Structure 1
Amino acid sequence: MIMGLDLMPGCAPESEPRYSAVVLKGGKVIEKKNDIGIIGLYSLIKRYKPDFIAVDNIYELAVNRKALIKFAKKLPLGTKIIQVTRIDGEDYPLEVLAKKYGLVESESKLSPIRTAEICARLALMNVGSIVEIFENETRIVVSRGRSLGSGGMSQARYQRNIRGLILRVTREIKEKLEKNGLDYDIFFRKSDSGLEWSLFIVYASREKLYGLIRPKKGHDVQVIIEPIVKSELLFRSLSGDKVEYYRKLRESARHIIVGIDPGITTGIAVIDFSGSILSIKSGRELSRSAVIEFVSNYGKPVVITTDVAKAPNFVKKIASALSAVLYLPERNLTIEEKREIVQGYLERNRLNIKVSNSHERDALAAAIKAYQHYLPKFKQVEDYVKELPFKVPLSQIKALVVKGKTIKEAVQQYIERVYSSKVKCSEKVPAQPASEQTKLLEKISNYINRINELELENLKLKEQVNKLISEKEEIIQTIDFMRTQYFKEIMKDRTFYTLQMRLNKANLQLREKEREIELLKKKLEYWKGMALDLAARKAVAIPRIKVLSLSALSEMEEFSSESIFVDNLSFVDNRALKKLKDRGARLVLTCSNVNRDDKFKFAENNLAVVSLKVSVLYLSDRFVVLPRDTYDSIKEQGLKELENLRDLIIEKKIEEILDEYRKERIKILLNKE
């Protein structure tokens, strides 16, 4: 059943509105009312209990959102409002829609009663959008029916009876919800003889509670049942699944810690992994979905915490819904402890943040407590990542560590995830230069691509080997058959000779492919070990150039290493030495011989030069890899030798100054004589 409505000309919804109404059932008009007031409209709606009320503009029913909510609360359960002129987010004139769907012959102005009928028929054709005003949640409040004022001797007994009655009604509602498998949160205020009041937030629509829990308004106890209003209106198209949200959650890669103090007034505090306080809020009768929506605006919750050692179900369910770690203190925090935690943290960080009430303070204290618990581990992550030869997102590594991974496992998991996605993408699109990556990270990426190429080649070689083995077996079977009595006379025939040659060739190819496979396996293990050594900081990657010249240095991207490897030091450009010194380099490595004069030239620019006597791994034209212990030993040796050479240079300069001074003194004495 559908009821179409239209506001009469000259009327406004805020001041005694009057409407035209048409009721359709099965496509037939069963009632028409023209120029009825708001009371008459409510009576008509109550009599027919329509499935839908169709209008061409929802603000003909109410002047604003608040008034529209008030109107919707007075409707029968299950009755929904449809705006027929809004289709997939676009508004269309009613006359245009009426002509399009064959309800009128021209787009002339329509009378109110005709407009009401057209609205109803368009809704019957699934034209328009349902206006969703309420959440799929319901609030149930159990409280006393009247105020308990001052009284005589029986007043205290009467108060105990009322509180006990509230407790009994609360238990009945709780049992019904659990018996029917309905999810809910409950808040209440205790007293010596029962409850002062209780509040249920049931995660089901009001229609699902119909007949299960009834509203009650008695002399002693009242039960109020009302749907929870959405934070913003929502239009859902009748012709499809398109939904228009008036406010969407912000997506953020930031990981956060959320402190929650649940109750009739819920406190929420949000802190990121660097300790910055992002938000503090409190609100009355907040549902879990409202809390989740609020905190999700600030990032991805990784830790959910509260100020008591035994987490309330409200907090547990939020942590479970967000797949977050639930951190709890070892014991309940006292009021004084929470005050000291918050005040001390704000003073140490010089933060001018206002905490409005005790609920916000408790939530913030819980969040700070959790952050301080994880802070030592966060610092270990920062120190570890700082030493890595490539960049990784700190926040992601910290989140993995909070969820139970070791730092090394977290880094390896990140590397595997990033590069597995890179390998998949490289099959579809040409490789593009990586941005915001260090040279070593690019090299590891190239190496992993090479591993995948080797693995693919390995699979192809195995297929060839299997094919050759199959061919060999076929040839052996052929030879065995030819060795029978029937073919003894033709064993020296050309066919047998050809097959024998094919067999020998197949055996030779098989052995060659087996050698190639073994070689590829060794290379594969070697490259895998090298990547893990780099990730675990067991090896060091050093930039490499062929000769030490300005042009060679200019071809390099931003240089930030303290060491550099040069293939050939037979030619050294003094300007290149100065440029290396300015860039902060301390150590020059080479495999060529370096004479003492060249070492002095390097030492004058505060550069140590060491000729390597160990094997070096060349990953490419741009990098050299050494074991970390070997590198540390070479570095120590080079810097020690540099210190000795610097001392000799200083001594030499002092000697030159003294010689010059002596010569000047002799010249002065000779002039005097």
Structure 2
Amino acid sequence: MKVFGIDIIKGSVRSRTRRPVYALARVEDGDIQSVEEVTGFRLQRLLAAEEPDILAVDSLQEIAADQRELHAFLQALPPATKLVQVTGGEKKESLGKVAARYNISFNKFDPYAEARTTARVAALGAGVEVIAFENTTDIVVSRHRSPGRGGWSQNRYARKIHGAVMQKAREIEGRLRGAGLDYEKKETKAFGGYSRVAFRVRAPREMVPVHSSRGADVQVRVAGRQLDRIRFEPLSGRPRYLIVGLDPGTTTGIAAVDLDGNLVLLSSSRQMTMSDIVEELYRAGKPLIVASDVREMPYSVEKIRRAFNAIPYTPKQSLSVEAKYDLTAPFSYTNDHERDALSAALDAYRSLQNKFRNIVKRVGPGFDLDEVRARVLRGQPLDTVLADLQGVPAAKKEAEPAAEAEPERPVEDERVMALDGMVKRLRSYVQELQDDLRERGREVERLRQDVRRARSAAERKIRRDAELAAKDAAIESLREQLRGERRRSRRLKKRLERMQKVAKLEVSEDYTPLKVLESLTREAVRALQEEIGIAEGDVLYVPRTHGWGRGVVKDLAGTGVRALVVGGEPPDPHLIRVAREIDLSLLPAETVSPEIRGRTGAALTGAVEDAVAEWKEEQKEFRREQEAERVEYLVKEYRSEREKEVRRGG
């Protein structure tokens, strides 16, 4: 692969008097061939003569002052040459940072060194390709001179020019057909031929076997169709490796830094699902390490880490607030969740800094440090990684000479071949016209018969299509009803099976059936009512009471359930008080020892009866205490009123 790298020595593209002079570095197959000083005109000549694969710059401002000049520069490039900006596209970074990524150092004040570095990093895959044209090419063949008013020979002169335009257009059309390209043609007829022929080819400019040219009578202009906005595409399809920090919760914080510690992504949101987090990280790059700010990685962070097959990182001790402030001091963030996520990513990067320094010392220039560091962190030995990466350019070097060994065809040979192909196509075209002429008579008669048959057939087809459409709609409606009934049947079957299990347990005298309530919420009560049903005298089991409310406890008491068995941690004292106020038996799971299987369970009847009896005794004591409190309150109120009367009477 041949790469040109340039950097301005003096002058500017915006100056009319001091035109730019460039330092030009040639790199071929990773080796620097030469470095020289060239003008802009000389650079265009060298690009047209040598047709490198890549022209690399560190800024588009060095070759064009505005978008119009940039389009003109790209139009003048050879079709196979890519314009690459090594410092990035819309988000640019310095050439020093890009070169450091490949362990390359250079003198920033030396234009020749910058040109060499620009070419080397572009050859290694850095930067973005500048794309300003669509995958459509316009070819315009027109007169190169005007016929003018002329004299006696004016008609012969105009016929000569228009005939040359027609001949050139047919030659170009033959090349397009020979290349198998799809195109549209628009012709402007004139005396003796065409004054203008325009082709619109559905292919990029580098695939079109036609070049702009000028002759005595004819000119050819080949141009790609400009995009509304210049697009940047990464030269290397491999995304950058990232160190990701996550702070899960109601508000999720996401932070990502590259392997040099530069911030790439920092955001937070209250409405992000796991798929949203994965998609945002995928757009930013390739997570190599997923980190958390606590000692034990949360399950949600672990799931995201597994989604990318990334390396986990957790600190030896959960990061304190002071440590988080110290880590994130150079950066700005909007909330504590972004701070926690960023501190996790930076702590992971800080723990790897020494290892990264050692790798840089042992790796020579010209290697992608991100790829080397990523493979070493994955567990590969450094020598193996370097040998593997060295093998890639070597394989390319062996493959390229074979392509270069093909001799180029002389221009005359191409013209002869194009003319031969044109003759063959014209002969076949004449034969096709003769065949068409013989077919015309038979086709006219067939068309007359077809018209007569079509009138009746079209009416029958319209009626048949309308009937088929109505029947298809009816069939689809019935299928949808059938699917709904099948779903309803499956739900009812499952509900019946659960109710049968409960009924079997109710028949047994030794065991009391339990219906499992997932949580003490109205949604869970509604779900249990739909699946199994809640009847008067039922005993319910709830594994946890988090999120309970006074309304749902009153609703359960209103259904007439006999008791509510509570599992997990001891119930909230406020919950016990509410249950006693509405006289709903609340039984601890330890006293009943329930056996739970899915949505149902069972407990020994004796244990349930004893627990209910104990609750009733405690309920009596609670009622007595309430009555005593009420009497004491009334006595206090009476005394207070008496004291007020005595004071008023005295």
Q: TM-score, normalised by structure 2?
A: 0.37
TM-score, length-scaled by structure 1: 0.36
